[in-house]
Amino acid sequence: MEKYTLIVTEKPNAAQRIAKALDSQGTPEKVEEDGVPYFLAHRDQKLVVVPALGHLYTVVHERGRRNYYPVFNFKWAPRYSAERRAKQTRTWIEVISRLASNAENFIAACDYDLEGSLIGYCLLKYACGDKEGVAKRMKFSTLTKNELEKAYEEPLSSLNFALIEAGRTRHEVDWLYGVNLSRALTLAAKRWSGRYATLSTGRVQGPTLKFLVGREKEIRSFVPTPYWSIRSEVKIKSSVYEVEYETKTFEKKANADAVVEACKGKTGEIETIEVRKLRQKPPIPFDLGKLQTEAYSLFRYTPRRTSGIAQRLYLEALISYPRTSSQKLPPTIDYRAILKKLKKKTVYKKLASDLLRKDELKPVEGKKEDPAHPAIYPTGNMPERELSEPEKRVWDLVVRRFMAVFGEPAIKQSMKASIVVNGHRFYLRGRRVLKEGWTRFYKPYIRAEEVLLPTIKDGQKVSMKQVMREDKFTKPPPRYNPSSLLQKMEEEGIGTKATRADIIETLYSRGYVAEERIVTTDLGFDIADVLSKYCPRVTSVKFTRELEEKMERIQTNSEDRVNVLVEAVSQLKPVLEELKEKEQAIGQVLSQAIKRARMQERLIGNCPDCKTGKLMILYSRKTRKRFIGCTNYFKDICTTSFPLPQKGTAKPAQKNCKGCEWPLVFVRMRGRRPWMLCFNPKCPLKEERRKRNEMQSLQKGN
C-alpha cells in the first residue's frame, strides 16, 4: 500500500480547506468511512487530511463510582467512555487509528493555541499510537491558501510541548475542581432531600458568580438619595440651544430653586468663547475580547455568539484566527496584499484605494501580545457563499476596524461659550468634525453626533428661553450584561479567552442567573453563599488569578506542570474535607434553594379569585395531568383552575397578555412553533379572534 503523510486537523471544515489548499490541483478527493470524512490530496506525495471533532479525549476518573468525592486520580481517555452524548467519537477515533497505521509521516494542523495543540497531541499519542514525538507542526493564523502552503512547506520540526503541557494542566486542574466541588454540592443536596439535581461550580465559575452576587446585593439594598439639577435653554437668533449650569448637581432643593428664580426670563451675555482642537487617535486592532465587546454594544450579540460567528468566518478563511489576545498586526501579514483584495468589493473599493495610496502603512496597535497569533484581521478573501446577516455584520466590523487602524487621527473642534446671567454662569457647548481621518473607515459604527453652533461673539446678548429645576435620584450601580461581565473577567485575569463566554452561558443554564441584564436568582445566591461560607478560597479572585498565572507560565517553560497540579490538589483537599464535614448543613440550604427555584419555575402569578393564593402549574393527584391551579386548590379553599396542553413543556412566560393583562404561559411542543398561551377564558383577544373566525366562515358560506 502506498505510504502517505497523515495531517490531523481540529474540525471537518478546516480539514477540507487545508486539503484544498495543499492539493496541487486544488481538488482533493473526499472519502467517507463510517460517517467520518477525510480528504486525499496529492502534492509532492500523497496526503491524507483527517479531522477530529474538537476534543476526542478528555480527563476522566481513573476508576470508581460517579457518586463520591474527593477524587484525585485521573487519566486521559476517549470522550465516548465518559460522556453519553459523545458516542460518535468512537468511530472517529477508530477511523483515525486505521489511517494512522499506514501513514509514514505525521503532521498536526490544529489551531495553534492551547486547545488546538492539546487536540493534536491527544490524537497523535492515543489514536495514532505514540506518534507525538515524531510529528511535525503546521503553524498558521489564517486558512488562506498561501499561508497553509507556507505552513506545510516550512513546518515546525516538533509539536509545541510547552503549550501542550499548559493545555493538559488547565484541563486537569479544571477537572479536579469542577468534579469535586460539583459532586460535593450535588451529593450534599441529594443526601439531605433524597432528590437529585445537578449543581455545579468550578474554578472560574465560582468567582464569576461571586461578582454577580456582589453587584446584585448592592442593587437590592440600594437606597436612592435625591439631588437636583438645572435644565436650561437659550435662544440665539431664531434657534434654541441647550446650555448647562456651572454646578451640575445640587444637594439642596432650595439652592436649585434660587438659581431658577434668579435666571428665569432674564437676558445673559456671552463672556468668553473657548475653541479647542482635539486629535482622536484610531482604535486599536481587535483581540477576541474587544471584538466581543464591540459586537455586543453594536448588535447586542452575546460574547459566545460573536465567538461562534468569528470561528465560522475563520473556517471560511475570511478572517484570521479569532481566539487571540494580541492587539498587534505585524507587517508579515502583508497589509497591502489584504487591502488590494478588499478593493474588489465595491463598498470597500474607495476606502482601500485611499489607504493603498499612502507611502507607508503603519497600524495603531494596543499593548497586548499573543505569542501564537496576531490580532484579528480580514484575509481579504471574499465569501464563497452567501453569509448570514450576523456573519456579514461581524465580517464588516473586522474589515472596517482593520482599515481604521491605518487611518489618520480624526480632528475635532470643541467650542465652549460661557454665558453669564444675573451673576450665574451657564455653558453652551458645540462640537464638529474638522477632519474625518480614521472615522470614515469605521463610519457605520461611530455614534458621536455633531452639535453645530451659530456664529457668536463675546459680549453678545442672549435670552434665557427656559430655566427649570429637575428632580433626580441617584441610581443603583448597573447590572452586568454578558459583555461587561466578560470584560470584568478579563480585567480580573480569570478564565481564558476561549472559556470565558462558555462559563457565562453555564451560569445561565444552571439557573444561577437570568435575563440579559444579569439578575442573580435565589439559587445563585444560595450557591454563592455556601461557597463563600464553607470554601472561601474557591471563590477568591486572587487565588484563581494566581493559579491562572502559574498555568500560563507553563507555556513559557517557567513553571512545572506537576508542581501546579500538586499545589491545586493541596489547596483543594482541605476545602473538600470541610465540605464533607458540613455536608448536612450545606445539603439543607441547597435543598431548600432547589425547592424554591423549582417552585419559582412553576409560579405564574396571583390568583385572581381568592387573592391569597398563587397560580401555579400543578399536577392532578388522580390523573397526573397538568393544569393551572391556585395554591389553595389542595386545601379546598379555592377551586380556580384552568386547563393546559398536556403535550410538550409549559412554563411561565414572565409576560402579561396584551388583551387582558393576565400572565402568559410559554408552550413548546415537538413539531410546532412555540407559542404564548393566555389561559383566561374571557380574554377579549380570544373573543375578537372567535368573532373574526365566525365572520370568515360566514363569508365562505356565502
Partner 1 sequence: MKCKVCKRETESKYCELHDKAYRNIVKEYDVWKKASDVSWKEYLSAIAKNSYTGLWAKEVAEHLMKSGEK
Shortest distance (Å) from residue 529 CB to partner 1 = 9
Query: Considering only CA atoms, which of 345, 280, 291 is closest in space to residue 321?
Result: 291
Q: What is the 8-class DSSP label of residue 438? A: G
Grid cell listed for 553: 507560565
89 SS3 class: helix
Other CB atoms within a 10 A radius of the CB of residue 482 amount to 26
Name which of 253 and 432 has its Cβ closer to partner 1: 253
Name which of 218 and 546 has its Cβ closer to partner 1: 218
Task: Using the CB atoms, write b or e for 614-644: b if 16+ within 10 Å.
Answer: bbbbbeeeeeeebbbbbbbbeeeebeeebeb
Q: What is the 8-class DSSP label of residue 63? A: S
Name which of 225 and 332 has its Cβ closer to partner 1: 225
- The Cα–Cα gap between 537 and 545 comes to 12
Pick the catalytic residue from 321, 442, 445, 512: 321
Name which of 261 and 274 has its Cβ closer to partner 1: 261
Name which of 217 and 461 has its Cβ closer to partner 1: 217
Radius of gyration of the chain (CA): 32
Q: What is the DSSP string of 515-575?
A: TTTTEE-HHHHHHHHHHHHH-GGGG-HHHHHHHHHHHHHHTTTSS-HHHHHHHHHHHHHHH
Grid cell listed for 121: 497531541
Shortest distance (Å) from residue 669 CB to partner 1 = 35
Shortest distance (Å) from residue 612 CB to partner 1 = 17
User: Where on the chain is the footprint of partner 1 (CB under 8 A)?
Assistant: 217-227, 251-253, 473-476
Shortest distance (Å) from residue 606 CB to partner 1 = 17
Q: Count Cβ atoms within 10 A of the Cβ of residue 651 and give its class: 0-12 exposed, 13-18 middle, 19 or more buried.
A: middle
Grid cell listed for 594: 432547589
Shortest distance (Å) from residue 519 CB to partner 1 = 10
Grid cell listed for 61: 476518573
Name which of 287 and 526 has its Cβ closer to partner 1: 526
Name which of 221 and 238 has its Cβ closer to partner 1: 221
Interacting residues of 320 by C-beta distance below 8 A, sequence separation 6+: 141, 142, 314, 333, 373, 374, 375, 376, 377, 378, 379
669 SS3 class: coil
Active site residue 321: yes
- The Cα–Cα gap between 486 and 502 comes to 10
Shortest distance (Å) from residue 482 CB to partner 1 = 22
Shortest distance (Å) from residue 254 CB to partner 1 = 9
Q: Which residues are catalytic?
A: 321
